[in-house]
Amino acid sequence: MKLSDDDFDGLKRWRISAPKGRMIYDQDEEAEAFYRVESGCVRLQVNREDGGRQILAFHLPGDIFGLDCDGRRHAAAEAAIRSELTRFQAPPPLGMSANPGAAAAVACAACEMVNALAGHLMGLGHANAEDRVRWFLGWLAERQGIDACNARLHLPMSRRDIADFLDLAPETLSRTMRRLESLREIEVMGTRRIVLRKNTRRPSDRGGPVMLVA
């Protein structure tokens, strides 16, 4: 099911331009709106008191995020790079009160979020550092519509972000990328550009992004 602008008729909306690092909303805040990424990348994260971060998801253009149905933000959202967003005003509980079309659209967006989180769990589960990085690059390539060999991939987030997303130490991520490079699977062109050399991806063939709901 694809979401269109019409599904959110009746909701006030406006554009937001968020510079790199800008917090869109914080944990434990009251949820008064949800968002759609128009360009850039937003990371959904939980900050620990020990300074560590846990990144639950990356939101790329077209993704809806911020649909906390119980009215409270369970995680913070921050722009990983300069991003353009559309903000949809909606009183909590988000999406439960709007027009009928919006209710279905919200349910659909929630389902996609479930798919993303389940895929994340699958990507990390029972996978070593190599497979985690392969899975991440494959996911990003798919999101960028890249499928051919020798395709250039743009990373819209820092190494630290990727490491926190994959639950790896930054050092391990760096070493793993070097290993994949020596295996001729990728080519690291600076910090934000990677060339995929092998399309024959089978990280033990754990299937691509797994989608499921409830």
Partner DNA sequence: CGTGGGTTTGACTATACTCAACTACGGTGG
Partner DNA sequence: CCACCGTAGTTGAGTATAGTCAAACCCACG
Q: Which does 177 bind (CB under 5 to 8 A by kind): its own copies, DNA, none?
A: DNA
**Dihedral sign of CA atoms 133, 134, 139, 143 in order:** positive
For its own copies, the binding residues (CB under 8 A) are 1, 34, 44, 46, 48-50, 52, 54, 56, 64-70, 72-75, 93-96, 100, 103-104, 106-115, 117-118, 120-122, 124-126, 167, 204-207, 210-214
Q: Is 23 in the site for DNA (CB under 7 A)?
A: no
**Which residue, 109 or 177, has its beta carbon nearer to its own copies?**
109
Mask of contacts with DNA, 187-206, x by CB under 7 A? -x-xxx--------------
The answer to whether residues 84 and 40 touch, using CB atoms and an 8 Å cutoff, is: yes
Please choose, out of 41-49, 60-68, 108-116, 184-192, the segment that lies near DNA by the rule CB under 7 A.
184-192
Of 35 and 194, which CB lies nearer to its own copies in the complex structure? 35
- The Cα–Cα gap between 44 and 54 comes to 9
Closest CA to 167 of 124, 208, 130, 127: 124
The dihedrals phi and psi of 131, each to the nearest 5 degrees, come to -65, -35
Binding residue for DNA, selected from 39, 115, 144, 172, defined by CB under 7 A:
172
How many other C-beta atoms lie within 10 A of the C-beta of residue 100? 7
Residue 158 interacting with DNA (CB under 7 A): yes
Measured between its terminal Cα atoms, the distance across the chain in Å is 16
